[in-house]
Amino acid sequence: MLSSNERKNLVIETGIGEYERYAIKTHFVQVGENFADIIEKYVMPHYKEGDIVSCSEKIVALCQERIIHRRDMKISFWAKFLSKFASHPSHGIGVGEAIKMQFAIDQVGLLKVLWAAFASAVTKLFGKKGVFYEIVGMEVSGLDGFYDHVWEEYRDIGILIPENPAKVCDEMNEKFGIDMMIVDANDYGQELLGKGSSLNKIEDKHLLEMIKDNPAGQGRECTPIILIRKKA
């Protein structure tokens, strides 16, 4: 029987009405699994026309094998030095960790990272946050993993953002007829990474309202997929 996650409300009010959010429990998804098989096994027995499927970017990225290994990362002097001056978020991994700072350097180059660090320091004086990630880009800001405070399995791997998430959503619509969005969500914020063309009729802000309290949860719930249904 479908239900919401513990300590999460089933119903949420949005600018386009009330929606119910049902947590879809899966197995622990491993690297290289077939994403379509996961949707078919866990979502399709419950999906009804008009539902919206909200899926965590992590399992899509894992299925796409979009990972990097700690053993392959060589931490430089600059990564260690710059990470000392970065903030440490209370969730996930930020550039306050040397390994993510090194990933940023590898992705965009040292000069751009130095500029981003300088600009971030200056703009923080005026109360503006997030400038570092605005400069280095989504690939860096979206890096997950390299932590074991919730998932021991993620201690030595970094999970990149999915490749072409909108295309993935369209492929699932073509195969199963479902309306899907792929999100990067936690208890501190939500970001829409991609949505199927079938969801273009709904503004992004309303789609994000449907998951603004992170109904998938923040711990080991193993509910990376949320089935969203308009309340009758």
- pTM to 2 decimal places: 0.90
What is the per-residue pLDDT for 204? 97
| Cβ-contact 181, 55 below 8 angstroms | yes
Per-residue pLDDT of the chain (232 residues; tens, 9 = 90+): 889 998 899 999 999 999 999 999 999 999 999 999 999 999 999 999 999 999 999 999 999 999 999 999 999 999 999 998 887 665 556 888 899 999 999 999 999 999 999 999 999 889 888 899 999 999 998 898 888 766 788 889 999 999 999 999 999 999 999 999 999 988 778 999 999 999 999 999 999 999 999 999 877 888 999 999 999 8
Integer Cα distance of 50 and 223 in angstroms: 21
The DSSP bridge pattern shows strands 52-56 and 179-186 to be parallel
What is the per-residue pLDDT for 46? 97
Written as six digits, the tokens of 155 are 């201690």
Written as six digits, the tokens of 36 are 């379509």
